[in-house]
Every structure is written in C-alpha cells, then in structure tokens.
Structure 1
Amino acid sequence: MIKKIMLLCTFAALSLLFAGCQEKAQPDDRLQEYVDLWNKGKFDKMFSDYANSSTKETFKKEDFVTRYKDIYKDLEVKDVKVSFKKPDKEVEWDKKSKAEFPMTISFNTLAGEVSYKKDVTLTKEKKDDDENWFVDWDPSFILPEMEKDDKVGVESISAKRGEILDRNQQPLAVNGEAFELGIVPKEFNENDLSKLSSLLDLSPEQIKSKLDASWVKPDYFVPIKKIALTERPLALDVIELDGLYSKRVPAREYPYGEATAHLTGYIGKLTAERLEKLKDKGYTAQSLMGLSGAEEVYEDELRGKDGQRIYLKQQDSEDTFTVAEQPVEDGKNITLTIDAEMQKKIYAQMKDEAGTAAAINPQTGEALALVSTPAYDPNEFVLGMSSEKYKKLADDPQKPLRNRFQLAYSPGSTMKGITASVGLKSGKLDPKKIYDIPGKKWQKDESWGNYKVVRVFDNESKVDLESALKFSDNIYFARVGLDMGAETFIAGLKDFGFGEEIPMSYPIYKSQVSNDGEISKEVQLADSAFGQGEVLMSIVHIASAYGGIINDGTMMEPKLLKDEEQKVWKKDLLSKEQADMMKTDFRKVVTEGIAGKASVEGKAIAGKTGTAEIKSEQGTKGKENGVFVSYDQNDPSMVLAMLLEDVQDAGGSTHTVQVAKKFYDTWK
C-alpha cells in the first residue's frame, strides 16, 4: 500500500514538473507561431498577440495591419515564404531577456521576386502576470530597408510592341505616330462646336461628353480624336479654331492599309469581359492587344513584357531604394513570308469586289499574298473609329470585316485538277480513255430521277482527260468519280489534306469532303468529283493543292512566318510523269481552252478555272463564285488562287480570269 502511494506521488511530481516546463514558452516556438501567421497573412493576430511593447508604442495596430495588407495588395504579393534558423545548440532561454534569430523572407511581386534576410529580435515581457516572448518589429519586415515614413512606389516601363514586316523588310505594322487633336476648354468657343463636329466626323454630343469628363479642368488639354499623320491638312484646319491644339503621340501604323487589313488585323483595348479572362496574364484596362489578324495570332511574340520597379522613397529625400525590378522586355519583330508589293497589286485588281486570293510558292509553301476584299482601314480602328463608321462597315452587304482567305468555299471546277490527280495516282483514271458524251446533260440511269449532270460546252463528244480539263467538262469528271468509287475518291482527298487541320500558324478553316466526311450516294459522288456537292476548300488549300501538283507530287505545308522551317505536308500525290502531264494540260487550258483570256505576253500562264454554283436546287438561278488557279510556267515560283463572289452577271469564272490577268500584266 505504501509503495502504491509513493508511486502515485512520484507521477504527480513528474506531471507538475512537465506542466511547469510547458508553461515556459521558448522564443523559437513563439517565433514559429509568428511566422506561421505571417505566411497565412494573419496580420491582425501578429500585432495583437506577438508584437512587443516597444512596437505597440511606436505603431498603431491599424498602421501595422493596414500597411501590410495595402502594400501586399498593391504590389500583387504572392507565395509568401518566411522562415528562420533555430540555434544549433540548446540555449538556456530562461536566463536571457532577448533572443535573436536570422530570418529569410521571400515573395513574388508584380516586379518579380523579393528575397531578403532580416535579424529578428524577441524580448521577454510580462503580460497579464505571464511571462512570454514578443517580436520587436519595424517596417523593414514588410520590405527591405523600409522605414516608418517611407513611401512605396511602383514604376512601370511599357514594352515596345514588336513590328510586323514582310519578306523584304517592308513594314506591315509598325510603331509610329499620330496627331492627337484636343481642346483647352477655357479657350474654346462653343460657337465652333458644329464646325469641329463636321471636321472630325464626331457628333457634338460626343465632343461635349469628353469635355464633361470628371477630371477635366479649364486649362487642361482634353484629347478629342487621333488622326493619321497623313491627314496633316485636317490637323491644320482643326487647330485654326480657338482652343484647339494638336500633338504627336505614339500609335500603331499599318502602312499598306486596306491591302493587308485582314492579314495584319489591328490592336485595341480589351473589352471588360476579355480583360477578366486575361488579367492573370498582366493585361490591364489600359493595355492594347491584337484583336484580329496577325496582331492577334502572334500576340504573345509581339506583345513583350512591361518593366516594373518597386522602390522606396524617404519623406525628405529624392533618393530611392529599389526593392525589386523586372527589366522591360520589348516584343519581338516578326517577319512574314508575304511580299507586300505583290499583295498590294493583287488587292488593287480585286478591291471593288467581294473575294479572296492566295499566292503560294509551291516549292517552299511560303504564302506570298493573302488577300480578302472588300476591306477596311486598320488605322481607323487604332485611332478610334466612330460608332457610325463601324456600323456602316458591319451593315455593308459585301461584309468588309469578313476575313475571306480563312474561310472554306465550294471550289467549283478547280476541284477537277485534284480529282484527276487522285484518279491518276490510284490507277483508276486512264488519261487516254475516251468517254462518249454526246450532249450537254447526262445521268447514269433512271435511279437518278430528274437529276442530270450538265456541262457548259458540248463541242466534243469524244472526251479524254486533256479535253475535259481544257473545257472543264462536268460530265467527264462525274463519270471519272463514279468509276473511281467513293472509297478511292475519299482516300485520295485525304491524301491531299481534306478533313485535317491546315498546318499553318495562321488559322485557316479545314477542307471537307462532305458535311459528315462520307459520300453515300452516287449523285453526291458525281457532283463532288467536279467540285459541287458538299466539298469545301479554303483558297489557301486550293493554292497549296495545285502547288503539290506543280511541285511534282509534293505539297508543302503553307507557312506565313519567314523563320518557320519548310516542311513537306503531303508527298507522292503524283509521279513526275503524271505531274508533267497535268502541267501540260493546265497550259492548254489557257492556250486552247476556256481560260484563253488569261494569256499574257512574255508569260506562260497555265491553270484551271472553276465556277461554284450557290443555289438550293438544280434548274434554279442562284449566285456563282468564280475561281481561277494559275501560275506562270516560265517562273513556277508562285501559284495564285483567286475567288470572286457573285460573278453570275459578270461572266462567271471568266471574269476572275480577267482580273487575274490584270495582275499578271502589272507584275514583274
């Protein structure tokens, strides 16, 4: 019994001893708790429970908590990591009144990483009859070298946007200047409001709304409108009015204007919705970014990265201390494969019509021109287009805002060159085989009902591949398609890249065999073989496909960036002998066939025409798109595919042939 009592007493003594040890807090334990709170952003508790008396005498709780929160928010502080080194040996802390530990503080900011070392001191103090350790704090805990009255500043250095150049280093999109016209309100005569409105194509209400902005003061310069430097006469007229001034300001310029509008696109401010999605990538309400065309496609390369500097400034000094700095990274210039002068000349011939054109080097795949008409002036978007002007563009029935070289169209009879190639490669088309075609209309049998394939010319009843290409014989190619069979035909089109993404950095709609990728009916197969049905191709793919034929059966990937590697997209589309035969026939389309109006002195123009009918049913009158794919056999370094819409009253595809000829007449 005595032993039990002694044992219980011993346990009681140990428990009291253990409890006593636990009650004596160690400074490293206290600091660890403090650090944990800091890492979690619990600034309120850091001050209330851990700041020593000296700190609380010098700083108010609100100053401590608010300053931490405001600075961390303004500097976009993330990933805070605070740690300290504990002593290597045991220390008898109960005999000491102070404890010092080396601390490391790091975090990421909008100007990059901030990392610094700080010796932290804890003092032993009594609080509510309990003795404990408390942190001796000062503002240098927030930022290195920071003192009580220092101001924190952020300096932003805007990155210069990269420029877009053509293959010959001609500027397509550059950092230029514009005139900014503005009013100094106290000098402005309101009687001139109507005249100013007329000069600047702005309503009086639009001008007044700028003058009524909350920040405006009588002697401030109030920007009203930017205009291109080429409009200097307008600027001179405007500043003749009292209170009107102009100054030169930075502005994106597009020297080729409408000719390259859809290719380059333009830059502008982000919508609130878009900004919300991109704010984590450093965009702000003042940011300009590519909103269409190459400006948008190559935004990441062109944009660059703004420089940022976080600094401290003492109250009575001009000196600053840099806390963190992220150097500015200007955007990269990009060089396109485009020949701007070629683009300009093609555009000049097409600009009054709706259509598109692509010029591609068949040996390299380089896009030399990508044209869409009608167009708009991208400079107006950058300088500030009025809502009335934008509405006029948006409502224009010819759709000048539509980028047509991206779209997929019915290729019409230009499909026949591809169908012939598929047939030759598969061995199911004998180019010497003669089809007996006595009239203009043909159907396989009565199972086709009222549907018949119609050809334009019936001057020949004995038709082989050469004559079928020369006179674009629908019936011949319908029969070739049927003899080939849907399986072979579709497989051949897939060899030409149908149904897959166009391997180009600039997005282009992919081509299709049909809406579902299948051909289940004979009529559809017949129609598809001569370019009707549900077959769709972009002008870029048409040019590339013909480039593959001209390049002896090797089709290159279309490329737009000059520094991109040249790559084969499809090979062995034809044998060398088959390709040579096709090229001979393409030349005869011009010298002996329906594209005679493409003849140009000094050039050996060859190619294939196509008329795509857009109508609901056979026998009705609808719209027609005229297509012409061509190249100069004396210089086969460019294939030009051109499509013009609504040519039904202008001569069909012959009209497109004539427009292409005008380009060849003027091109070197």
Structure 2
Amino acid sequence: MKTKKYILYIIIIIMALSLAACKKAETPKVSFDGYIAEWQKNDFTAMYKRLSAESKKNISEKDFVDRYKNIYEGINVNKLSVKPTYPEKFSADKDNKVHFPFAVTMDSIAGPIQFTSEVTLVQEKEGKTKKWNIIWNEKMIFPQLEAGDKVKYEKDNFKAKRGEIKDRNGKGLAVNGMTIGVDTGKIQGDKTAFEKQVADILGAVPDQIHKQISVSWAKPGVFVPIAAISKNDIDRLNKLIAIKGVTTQEKGQRAYPYNEAAAHLIGYVGSITPEELEKVKDQGYTKDDLIGKNGLEKVFEKKLKGENGAIVYTTDSKGNKKQTLAQKLPKNGEDITLTIDIDMQQALYTQLNGEPGTAVSVHPVTGEVLAMVSSPAYNPNLFLMGLTDKQWGDLNNNPKKPLTNRFEASFAPGSTFKPVTAAIGLKTSKLDPNKAVNITGKSWQKDSSWGKYSVTRVDESVSNVDLSTALIHSDNIYFAQAALAIGKEDFAKGAADFGIGEKIPFVYPLKASQLTSGTSLDKDIQLADSGYGQAQVSMNPLQLALIYGSLVNGGYVPSPILDMKDKAQNPTIWKDKVISKENSDIIVKDLVQVIENPSGTGHQAQIPGKTIAGKTGTAEIKQSQDDTNGKENGWFVAFDVNNPHLVVLMMIEDVKNKGGSHYAVPKVQAVMQQFLK
C-alpha cells in the first residue's frame, strides 16, 4: 500500500513539473507580446533584453536605449499602438526563424505616423531554456531608416500665429508685434547709457534690459530679443532703430499697445509652467509654448492659441534630408473682435487718474460691453520682458493694489441701489411715488428694539419726502422705510428678479452680486439698510450698469456680451420684464431730476443739449455705526434718456475727504460728453 502511495506521489510531482515546463515554454507570440508591452511603455532597456545574440553584437544596450529615447522624446511620440498579425500556426524555417507582419501607429509633434513592417524571431538557447528572440534592425524604428540615418524635426517655421484681440473698430489690443532685439557687438559707447536709453523708450527699467542682454549666449552677431511693440507704434520703433545695437525682427511676439488702460481686461501671455503643461499636455502644448496667464488672453486661450505644425524627416549621416515621416501645417489662432471701444476704455482709465476704482460702460439695449476698466493697473508688456525683483515688489506691495482686478469684484453700492428698491416697491405696490413721507431730523429708527442703532441721512432740510425728492436728495431714511414696507420676502424676490444672487452669464468670470451673505434677510435693521445699498448688499459693477439699462430698454436686463460674434439681431435677454414701462418712466423721470435739479446730487453731470439721468452713491465701509475711521467708496451711474445706447458707471475707492460720490460725477460727465456727440 505504501509503495502505491509512493508511486502516486512521484506521478504527481512529474505532472507538476511538466505543467510548469509547459507554462515556461515560450512561443513567438508570448515573446513578441512582451516586447510590444515594453515598447508601449517606452521601457527600452527591457526591449533590448529580448534581442537576439546577433542583434546585441551589432548594437550595445546603451546605444539601443539612447537611439529610441532620443528619437521618441525629440518628436514627442505618444499614443503608440503596435498590432501584430500572428499566423494561425507558427512554422519555423530551416534557420529556426519565424516571420510575421506588424502595424504601428503613433502621434508625433508633426501629427500621426503609421507604418507596417515585418519582424523576425529566432529561437536561441539561453542556459537550459529556449527563447524566441527578436532580430532587430533600424527599420523596426521606422522602415525608412538605415544604419547611420537620423530622425530630425523642425517646428520654428511651422509655428501658428496667435490670434489677435481687437476692439470693435479694429484697433489692436493684443497684437503680434515687432520683436525688438539687441546685437551686443554693435552697441556703441557706454553700455549703461545704452540700457537706460532703450529702457526709457520701452517704459522699462535699465536693470531689465541689462538682465536680458547679459545672458550667456548673447554674443556679437546674435539677435537677443528684449521686447515686442505694435507695428503701428511708428514713433517708438523709429527711436529704437536709431540706437546702434538695436535691431528688429518681423517674427512678432505679443504686444499690448494700450498698456495699463486695458491691462486687467486683456491680460497677458507668458511661458507655460510645468504645472500648467501638466493640465493641458493633451491639447497640443509643449514646454516651449506661451499661454494666457490672465484676462482675455486666458479666457479666450483655446480660440487664440492655434495649432503649431512641424515636420519629421530622416537624414543620412551627412545631414542630407531623405524622407518625410510626418508633416503638419500650422493652423493660426482665431482673431477676436470685442465689443469694447478702446477710446472709451482709455478715456475712463484717464479719468480715474491712478485712483483705486473701476469703471464700466454698456449698451443698455444690446448688452454690448463698451469698456471695463480697473485702476490702477500695470503694464502687461513688462511681464513679457520679465519683471525685475524691484518691479514685482513695487507692484505687489503698492497700497493701491494695481494687480487687483476691481471690475471682476463686487462692492457695497450705496445709494446707486436705491432705484432697485424703488422698482421693487413700485412693482409690489408697497411704494406710492406720489405720497410724501414726513421725515424730520437727521436720524431715524423703527422703534426702541433697534437700541442705539439708527438710519441717518445727509440732507435733513427736506421733511415731506416723496420718491422724486428722495432720489434727488438721496434720502437714506425714505428708502429704509420703503424696504421695511416691502418686507423681507418681497424685497429678496424683487432683487432676485434682477439677477442679484445669480452667476452673471458672461464670458469673463465675475463675482456674483448679492443681497445678503446669508440665506435670508435676518433682521429689520439689515432690511432697512439694504434699502439704500448698505448692510450686506454687494454689487458687481457690470451687473449694476446692466440693471440701470433695464430702465430705458423696455424693462429687461440684457445678457452682457464681449465678443462681437455674439452680437445678434435681437439682444439676448438675461432677465425679462423686471420693470414695467410705467414704473421705469417714473424712476427715469426722477433720475433726470437728480441731474437737472440744482439740489440734485448729480447736478454736475449736466450736458448741454442732452437729457441725462443718473444716481450717485456713497458706500460706507466701516465696522460699526460709531466707526469714524471707516472709508467711503464713491459711485456714479448715468445714461442718456433720449438716445439709450450708453450707460456709464464709475466707482472710486476712499473718497471720504474728496467729496464722496460727487468726486466721480464730473469724471463720468466728461466721458459721456465726449461720446454723446
């Protein structure tokens, strides 16, 4: 019995060994499948281990790995696919070799490459086992390759032109300008004086120019790019070209002709960072590309970028071109024409005169955005040249915050919100425009539950206050009482009808306006203060301008548009029927008096021959009612009543000792007078 068990054990062991041998037995398919898996992972070292003994004599492991690596990395091979066509049954020839075809597809810097070839495997003994090894030659990389041939690519002559950004009249806001460069071998006289002269013309600092022309490769006869300017900037071009050592190239870099005036709107481009490249590497970007960093350069990046082309080809050992493997022609980026009027943009920026603030202008009927200004700003051309540490420090530490984009933010609107309260009150029938409310004194509170808190007004000379009087004199108490009469729910719903609290449907991302930072108006004090644009009310400047547009366009808030391609025969409406004609006529008539009445807070905005309506607003930014050190932001919104194609809004920060909102009135008036001719 023991003998039979012993024999059974022996049989089991033999069978196990046989099965193990079967599992280890390599076929040509197993070998080439492994080679393919390593090939698709770019594991060239593992691939080399599968080569035949004869192949290894012809090329070292280092040369094999370097050959593949240099070619694949150079032409940016990706999405590699290898598909062999195996025979139904492998049959070795008299030399113990098998042959079968395979097809390769891959993407490259110059587009797709595909080819078919044939592989030969030979069975060779390695130790006690037999393996099917690949007989390798250059043609397994590309069939066109011979020993000594090289694979090269060119892309400099295949670069796509970045699309340009233009204003509504075709004026370039972001252009592919002339490249300004320096040949250090042609500089005459003192180098320091040269750097200062060039810097002064470019609006840079001498250290910036010095840094750029001091790179190791800046040798005599070499073009060292330092900046780009618009081809239309003839005056500066002539001044630069007149300096010995300065030269130009037609091959343009990005240039921003309007400098600070459009900086936050247009933005700028810069070299792509490794982090950015990781996010967009599947979109045709390489480490050498530029990418929009902010502003519309970033917003419209996909449209502006275009697609670079390239050519991949083989050369012989002497560098003579042999065959093209792939070629992709460049596809230039799309030019974008904005609804912006750069002359108005410049005029508003000039009026702000470096003060921290913002200004926007819109067409109230179509929703076209005519200007979006943030002040102070920076010169985007300097970012292209490379900011010095001092320049960056000056921008970053400037108390006026020139790097902050104010038109994308939201702010307490102060009394410019009062027409919204009036519109809600009229719609809900909780406000009678003709009823005079008896208001005495400078302050008022609902009852003793408010404790020490009260609503205050600036002008206490008027006691019988109706809607017109309240708007002319900007009476906070009247609108606080109106908001309380409307009630929390109707007030919140009325604000929502104007889109307050919603994302603004605009290509440029903007912060949404809000009535409250919470979910509801919690207390009567908050509701009362909201009635005149304080408490937690926060308005984006563009949205507030669009809301004023509803007063003269028939009662809708248009969707703002920035790309002229979006301009349609009929305007796109964001919020429809927000105010009836009857109610808008009432409010507009009163807003006209804000300008025409000598007591009106916007009286300085009068324009001879024009009927201008508008509203001032002084928003208090303070910690409590007793805070005497708080700041004030001054607002003014105005529009032409009889020719409703222009609404202009300006907000200037910290106007407490400059006349409050009155500080903004003549600035808006000057721009409107210029553009309402």
Q: Could you say which TM-score interval applies, normalised by the shorter chain?
A: 0.7 to 0.9
Indicate the residue corresponding to 1:366 in structure 2. Answer: 368
Indicate the residue corresponding to 2:592 in structure 1. Answer: 587
Indicate the residue corresponding to 1:85 in structure 2. Answer: 85
Q: Distance in 1 between matches of 2:338 and 2:355?
A: 26
Indicate the residue corresponding to 1:464 in structure 2. Answer: 466
Cα RMSD after superposing both structures: 3.3
Residue type at the aligned position of 1:346:
L
Residue type at the aligned position of 2:576:
K
Residue type at the aligned position of 2:164:
E
Q: Distance in 1 between matches of 2:381 and 2:24?
A: 75
Residue type at the aligned position of 2:190:
D
Q: Distance in 1 between matches of 2:470 and 2:35?
A: 88
> Shift in Å at residue 162 of structure 1?
0.6
1:274-328 per-position Cα deviation (integer Å, ceiling 9, x unaligned): 5565556554554322222111221121112221322211124622322223332
- Against the structure 1 CA distance between its residues 130 and 397, is the aligned structure 2 distance closer, same or farther, given a 3 Å change threshold? closer
The partner residue of 1:332 within 316, 331, 334 is: 334
Please state if 1:198 is matched with 2:200.
no
Please state if 1:321 is matched with 2:323.
yes
Structure 1's unaligned 5+ residue stretches are none
- Against the structure 1 CA distance between its residues 129 and 263, is the aligned structure 2 distance closer, same or farther, given a 3 Å change threshold? closer
Q: Distance in 1 between matches of 2:610 and 2:79?
A: 67
Kept in 2, the 8 Å contact 1:259–1:343? The answer is: yes
The partner residue of 1:618 within 595, 614, 625 is: 625
Structure 2's unaligned 5+ residue stretches are none
The partner residue of 1:509 within 508, 511, 522 is: 511
1:234-280 per-position Cα deviation (integer Å, ceiling 9, x unaligned): 525642xxxx3423352322233332222112222345655565556
- Against the structure 1 CA distance between its residues 142 and 94, is the aligned structure 2 distance closer, same or farther, given a 3 Å change threshold? closer
- Against the structure 1 CA distance between its residues 52 and 663, is the aligned structure 2 distance closer, same or farther, given a 3 Å change threshold? same
Kept in 2, the 8 Å contact 1:251–1:383? The answer is: no
> Shift in Å at residue 383 of structure 1?
3.8
1:433-512 alignment, distance < 5 Å: 433-512=435-514
- Against the structure 1 CA distance between its residues 126 and 430, is the aligned structure 2 distance closer, same or farther, given a 3 Å change threshold? same
1:586-610 per-position Cα deviation (integer Å, ceiling 9, x unaligned): 2222223332222211211112221
Q: Distance in 1 between matches of 2:23 and 2:423?
A: 90
Q: Distance in 1 between matches of 2:293 and 2:24?
A: 65
- Against the structure 1 CA distance between its residues 195 and 652, is the aligned structure 2 distance closer, same or farther, given a 3 Å change threshold? same
Indicate the residue corresponding to 1:555 in structure 2. Answer: 557
Please state if 1:350 is matched with 2:352.
yes
> Shift in Å at residue 418 of structure 1?
0.5
> Shift in Å at residue 432 of structure 1?
2.8
Q: Distance in 1 between matches of 2:66 and 2:273?
A: 32
Q: Distance in 2 between matches of 1:351 and 1:110?
A: 48
- Against the structure 1 CA distance between its residues 474 and 60, is the aligned structure 2 distance closer, same or farther, given a 3 Å change threshold? same
- Against the structure 1 CA distance between its residues 522 and 169, is the aligned structure 2 distance closer, same or farther, given a 3 Å change threshold? same
Q: What SS does the aligned partner of 2:87 have? A: coil
Kept in 2, the 8 Å contact 1:180–1:225? The answer is: yes
Kept in 2, the 8 Å contact 1:183–1:224? The answer is: no
- Against the structure 1 CA distance between its residues 51 and 468, is the aligned structure 2 distance closer, same or farther, given a 3 Å change threshold? same
- Against the structure 1 CA distance between its residues 193 and 38, is the aligned structure 2 distance closer, same or farther, given a 3 Å change threshold? closer
Q: Distance in 2 between matches of 1:210 and 1:555?
A: 50
Q: Distance in 2 between matches of 1:563 and 1:29?
A: 58
Indicate the residue corresponding to 2:161 in structure 1. Answer: 160
Indicate the residue corresponding to 1:380 in structure 2. Answer: 382
The partner residue of 1:637 within 630, 642, 645 is: 645
Kept in 1, the 8 Å contact 2:480–2:532? The answer is: yes
Indicate the residue corresponding to 1:304 in structure 2. Answer: 306
Indicate the residue corresponding to 1:654 in structure 2. Answer: 662
- Against the structure 1 CA distance between its residues 134 and 554, is the aligned structure 2 distance closer, same or farther, given a 3 Å change threshold? same
1:364-399 per-position Cα deviation (integer Å, ceiling 9, x unaligned): 211111122233333333344444344334343333
Q: What SS does the aligned partner of 2:330 have? A: coil
More deviation, 79-88/601-610: 79-88
More deviation, 216-225/574-583: 216-225
TM-score, normalized by length of structure 1? 0.88
Indicate the residue corresponding to 2:170 in structure 1. Answer: 169
Q: Distance in 2 between matches of 1:343 and 1:208?
A: 34
> Shift in Å at residue 33 of structure 1?
4.5
Kept in 2, the 8 Å contact 1:34–1:50? The answer is: no
Indicate the residue corresponding to 1:541 in structure 2. Answer: 543
Q: Distance in 2 between matches of 1:342 and 1:50?
A: 71
Residue type at the aligned position of 2:58:
T
- Against the structure 1 CA distance between its residues 224 and 110, is the aligned structure 2 distance closer, same or farther, given a 3 Å change threshold? closer
Kept in 2, the 8 Å contact 1:626–1:652? The answer is: yes
- Against the structure 1 CA distance between its residues 214 and 194, is the aligned structure 2 distance closer, same or farther, given a 3 Å change threshold? closer
> Shift in Å at residue 100 of structure 1?
2.5
Kept in 1, the 8 Å contact 2:208–2:386? The answer is: no
Q: Distance in 2 between matches of 1:653 and 1:513?
A: 21
Q: Distance in 2 between matches of 1:616 and 1:637?
A: 39
Kept in 1, the 8 Å contact 2:476–2:532? The answer is: yes
Q: Distance in 2 between matches of 1:231 and 1:301?
A: 30
TM-score, normalized by length of structure 2? 0.87
Q: Distance in 2 between matches of 1:203 and 1:22?
A: 73
Indicate the residue corresponding to 2:58 in structure 1. Answer: 58
1:566-577 alignment, distance < 5 Å: 566-577=571-582
- Against the structure 1 CA distance between its residues 321 and 494, is the aligned structure 2 distance closer, same or farther, given a 3 Å change threshold? same
Kept in 2, the 8 Å contact 1:549–1:573? The answer is: no
- Against the structure 1 CA distance between its residues 150 and 660, is the aligned structure 2 distance closer, same or farther, given a 3 Å change threshold? same
More deviation, 141-150/454-463: 454-463
Kept in 2, the 8 Å contact 1:442–1:475? The answer is: yes
> Shift in Å at residue 416 of structure 1?
0.4
- Against the structure 1 CA distance between its residues 321 and 459, is the aligned structure 2 distance closer, same or farther, given a 3 Å change threshold? same
Kept in 1, the 8 Å contact 2:165–2:173? The answer is: yes
> Shift in Å at residue 532 of structure 1?
1.3
Q: Distance in 1 between matches of 2:255 and 2:208?
A: 25
Q: Distance in 2 between matches of 1:139 and 1:652?
A: 79
Aligned length: 652
- Against the structure 1 CA distance between its residues 526 and 211, is the aligned structure 2 distance closer, same or farther, given a 3 Å change threshold? closer
> Shift in Å at residue 52 of structure 1?
5.7
More deviation, 263-272/581-590: 263-272
Residue type at the aligned position of 1:445:
D
1:19-38 alignment, distance < 5 Å: 27-28=28-29, 30-38=31-39
Q: Distance in 2 between matches of 1:403 and 1:414?
A: 21
> Shift in Å at residue 552 of structure 1?
2.7
Q: What SS does the aligned partner of 1:650 have? A: coil
Indicate the residue corresponding to 1:120 in structure 2. Answer: 119
